[in-house]
Every structure is written in structure tokens, then in C-alpha cells.
Amino acid sequence: MTTLCLGEALVDLICQRPVDDLADADAFVPAFGGAVANVAINAARHGARVALGGGAGGDEWGSWLRERLEDEEVDLRWFELVPGTPTPVAVVTVNGAGEPTYRIYGDGIASVVHALGSRIADAVEASSALFFGSSTLVGKAERQVTMQARKLALELERPVIFDPNLRLHRWPSRAEAAASANACVPGALLVRATIAEAELMTGEHDPERAASAMLKAGARLVVLTLGARGAILRGELDATAPGTEIDIVSTIGAGDALTGVLLASLAATGYYPPAVAASLPEAVRAAELACGRWSAID
């Protein structure tokens, strides 16, 4: 059985030099993008059997993304190219510290609705676990399908892994983003978040207190990434993986690389919780390696 990953693929157009403003960018290079799709590819590269539930537009960019997914051996039975709809494109600039800014055009494809609206029960039942982020929680229709998938997975005792990956510019307010993310914490085997996301969701700046709040809310395991300080695991097991000093090109896809390693490790062990602790140093290293390139997927 495969792990079902809910989320769209999109095209990143990346200015491959540091700029402080979009007006300073002079060229853009296309790259594979979409947080959940990035995680799916990273997990597949580490040996996991994963299926991507979602889609892209029925255009040349959509076909390009699908071919990349096929090359990475991601199961596409729940993935669709939507006729007459343009594939979302993210124009990405990176500042001197390696932090990206995304400006998404053509967003709102509602790919999960098109791909799984009438097949969500079949998709969850055919899967060993469910992974999703917040990208399919913004729109009302996609949120309904995503939360239905979560509910079915929990009822079937399938492990649920949630990575908020909050892009606040997509949300009407910070409060709505936090509330939607927090609604996905109860029952999750693993919640993986940045410390900034954890603070938004819990109101706690301290990583230990933020992780504790998520555990009290119903997560079994919480992994918080702390930038250059590495990551911590709290919950049924505790672990710490320190970071190393690296030269950062960009942080695009760093979190997706980390989550992909954790997901693959869990899948390889039948979702045995100690796998998260065992693979945390490798996951942190994968995130650091991702910081040495411009795109999420090399």
C-alpha cells in the first residue's frame, strides 16, 4: 500500500540570485514546486511508495510536472490534469539570507477537489497512511475534501502526518491560518512544523512549550525545526538533532526535504514511531543539503 499525499504540484519560477525586490530580478528559471508534491518526491527518493492526490492544469506546464512525477515513480492514480485550467506558477525571489518570497499566479485550481472529490474514500482506503499540509485548507471546497480524508483516515486507524507549511499571504488572516492548522493536530501521529509556525499555532515562542502545547492538543509526536539549530522531537519519544554551520543559497524546499525523509522512514517501518527519532539526524542533513541549491527538487 502507498502513503497518500494530498496537495497540488506547481511550477516555481526562481530568480537564481539574491534580490531584495522583485523589480531587481532579471531572469527566472523554471523548477518543480508544490510543498506536498516536493515531500512526495523526497519520500519516493528515500524508498517510500507514495501517491500524490491532487493535480495541475491541463496545459504544457501540467504535462511537464506530471512527467517529472512519473520519472520519480510517484503513483499518479489520484492525480489529474484539469482541462481548461492553467497550472499555478509561483514567481520566487530569494533575499541575501536565503529566505524566499512567493507570488503565486493561477492559484485556486482546487486540484484536490477535481482529483478526489468523488473518490476520497477509495483513495484513503487504498492507502497505508495520509500526509497533507495547509495548502489544501485555504479554499472551502478543498478544505472540505482534505478534512474528510483526515476523518476517514483516523476512523480507519491509518496514521496521519501533518505539516502546516503555512504561507500566510494565502490566508485572510493569521488567526484563520492558525485555527485551520490547529484543527488538524488532534489524532496526528506526527506534526512537523517550523518554530515560527508552532508559535503562530500555540502562542508559545519557546520550542519546548510549543511542542508541549501541540502534544496536549492531541498529536503523538511533534518535530519542530529550529533553522540552523537543527530540530527536536517530542512526544512518545524525545530526540534532538543539531544543525551544522552551512552556506545557504536558499531555503526553498528545505522543510520538504526534511519531511520527506521522516515520511519515508515511517513508511519503511510500518509507521513505527521510533523511526522518527532514528531518522531525525538524516532528515536535518537533507534539509541542510537542500539549502545549497536554488530549487526544492534538484
* Count of domains forming the chain: 1
Residue 193 confidence (pLDDT) above 80: yes
46 domain-assigned = yes
CB 189 within 8 A of CB 236: no
Per-residue pLDDT at 146 exceeds 90 = yes
The pLDDT value given to residue 130: 98
CB 135 within 8 A of CB 162: no
In a domain, 298, yes or no: no
User: Domain residues for 223?
Assistant: 2-290
Query: In sequence order, what E strands does the chain have?
Result: 2-6, 10-14, 29-33, 50-57, 79-82, 89-94, 100-105, 127-133, 160-163, 190-194, 221-225, 231-235, 239-241
The pLDDT tens digits of the residues spanning 34-49 come to 999 999 999 999 999 9
Q: pLDDT band for 1, please (50, 70, 90 cuts).
A: confident
Instruction: Confirm if 296 and 260 have CB atoms less than 8 A apart.
Output: no
Helix, strand, coil percentages in the chain from 3-state DSSP, rounded to 5 = 40, 25, 35
pLDDT digits (tens, 9 = 90+) for 115-145: 788 899 999 999 999 999 998 999 898 999 9
Answer yes or no: is pLDDT of 109 > 80: no
Please check whether residue 72 lies inside any domain of the structure: yes
CA distances from 232 to 227, 262, 283, 293 (A): 11, 13, 11, 24
Q: Is the pLDDT of residue 110 over 70?
A: no
- State residue 111's pLDDT score: 74
* Grid coordinates given for 198: 508552532
- In the chain, what percentage of residues exceed pLDDT 90? 87
Q: Is 108 helix (H, G, I), strand (E, B) or coil?
A: coil
- Please give the pLDDT value at position 114: 78
**Banded model confidence at residue 107, pLDDT cuts 50, 70, 90:** low
pLDDT digits (tens, 9 = 90+) for 203-223: 999 999 999 999 999 999 999
Residues 107, 194: Cα–Cα separation, whole Å: 24
Q: What pLDDT does residue 115 have?
A: 79
Q: In angstroms, rounded to a whole number, what is the distance separating the alpha carbons of residues 35 and 135?
A: 8
Band of residue 93 on the pLDDT scale cut at 50, 70, 90: very high
Q: If we measure between CA atoms, which residue out of 31, 43, 59 comes closest to residue 5? A: 43
For the chain, the average pLDDT equals 95
- 19 occurs within a structural domain: yes
Sheet with 29-33, strands from edge to edge, namely: 29-33, 10-14, 89-94, 100-105
Please state, in angstroms and rounded to a whole number, the distance separating the CA atoms of residues 213 and 204.
8
Backbone dihedral angles phi then psi of residue 9, each to the nearest 5 degrees: -100, 150
Lowest mean pLDDT among 13-17, 166-170, 201-205: 166-170
What does the pLDDT read at residue 118?
86
Report the alpha-carbon distance of residue 149 to residue 123 in Å, rounded.
9
For residue 84, is pLDDT > 90? no
Which CATH number belongs to the domain containing residue 203 in this structure? 3.40.1190.20
Q: Which residue has the higher pLDDT, 117 or 230?
A: 230
* 7 within domain boundaries: yes
Whether 295 is in a domain gets the answer no
State how far the Cα of 135 lies from the Cα of 121, in Å rounded to an integer. Answer: 20
Question: What is the number of other CB atoms lying within 10 angstroms of the CB of residue 128?
Answer: 16
Number of neighbouring beta carbons within 10 Å of residue 174: 11
pLDDT at 262 (0 to 100)? 98
Q: Does any domain span residue 296?
A: no
The 10s digit of each residue's pLDDT in 22-81 is 999 999 999 999 999 999 999 999 999 999 999 899 999 999 999 999 999 999 999 999
166 and 200 Cβ atoms separated by less than 8 Å: yes
Band (pLDDT 50/70/90 cuts) for residue 167 is confident
Segment 242-260 mean pLDDT: 96
